[in-house]
Amino acid sequence: VPEVVVDGKTGFIVKDKDEMVGAIKKIDSIKRLDCRRHVEQNFTLKQMVDKYEKLYQRLTN
């Protein structure tokens, strides 16, 4: 999940239920625009294809 979520900016990464409760209380601090920008900048079609291609190459070598 850390490669998808920027902790405290686009979501929260928690280790246990107590941290989850704390994260839920702070959910209003997450801005939708920040989430959208993160996805648009890091998960374009080309980037995803390149990442899958590299993964397949590693798995087959």
User: Over the stretch 7-22, which tens digit does the pLDDT of each residue have?
Assistant: 999 999 999 999 999 9
Q: What is the mean pLDDT of residues 29-55?
A: 95
Q: What is the mean pLDDT of residues 24-41?
A: 96
Give the pLDDT confidence score for residue 34 in this predicted structure. 97
Q: How many CB atoms lie within 10 A of CB 30?
A: 16
Give the pLDDT confidence score for residue 2 in this predicted structure. 77
DSSP-derived letter for residue 2 is: T
Assign 1 a pLDDT band (cuts: 50, 70, 90).
Answer: confident
pTM of the predicted structure, to 2 decimals: 0.72
Q: How many CB atoms lie within 10 A of CB 37?
A: 13
